[in-house]
Amino acid sequence: MSHRLIPSFDRLAFVASETEEAEAARATLAGLYGDVPPEEADVVVALGGDGLMLQTLHRFMNTDKPIYGMNRGSVGFLMNEFRVDALRERLSESVVTAIHPLIMTAVDGTGASHAARAINEVSLLRQTYQAAKLRIAIDGKVRLEELVCDGVLVATPAGSTAYNLSAHGPILPIHAPLLALTPISAFRPRSWRGALMPNRVTVVIDVLESEKRPVSAAADHNEIRGVVKVTIREDHKQRSLILFDRDHSWDERILAEQFRY
Tens-digit pLDDT string for the chain (261 aa): 444 444 568 899 999 999 999 999 999 999 999 999 999 999 999 999 999 999 999 999 999 999 999 999 876 788 999 999 999 999 999 989 899 999 999 999 999 999 999 999 999 999 999 999 999 999 999 999 999 999 999 999 999 988 999 999 999 988 889 999 999 999 999 899 999 999 999 999 999 999 999 999 999 989 999 999 999 999 999 999 999 998 766 677 777 777 776
| Per-residue pLDDT, 12 | 97
Q: Are 90 and 45 within 8 A, CB to CB?
A: no
Q: Mention the CATH class of domain 2-99+239-258.
A: alpha beta
Annotation: binding site: 50-51, 120-121, 150, 158, 161-166, 222
- In the chain, beta strands by DSSP E: 2-4, 12-16, 43-48, 67-71, 95-99, 102-108, 113-118, 121-126, 132-138, 141-149, 151-155, 178-184, 195-198, 202-208, 215-219, 222-224, 227-234, 240-244
| CA–CA gap between residue 252 and residue 222 (Å, rounded) | 30
Per-domain boundaries in the chain = 2-99+239-258, 102-234
pTM, two decimals, is 0.87
Q: Mention the CATH class of domain 102-234.
A: mainly beta
Closest C-alpha to 122, from 211, 197, 227, 233: 233
Three-class HEC string of 33-89: HCCCCHHHCCEEEEEECHHHHHHHHHHCCCCCCCEEEEECCCCCCCCECCCCCCHHH
**Of how many residues is the chain composed?**
261
| CA–CA gap between residue 155 and residue 170 (Å, rounded) | 10
Closest C-alpha to 116, from 233, 203, 17: 233
**Active site amino acids:** 50
Q: Do domains 2-99+239-258 and 102-234 have the same CATH topology?
A: no
Q: Which long-range contacts (CB under 8 A, 24 or more apart) does 186-190 make?
A: 186/147, 186/148, 186/149, 187/131, 187/148, 187/149, 188/146, 188/147, 188/148, 189/144, 189/147
| Per-residue pLDDT, 261 | 64
| Per-residue pLDDT, 75 | 67
Annotation: binding site for NAD(+): 50-51, 120-121, 150, 158, 161-166, 222
Q: Are 147 and 189 within 8 A, CB to CB?
A: yes
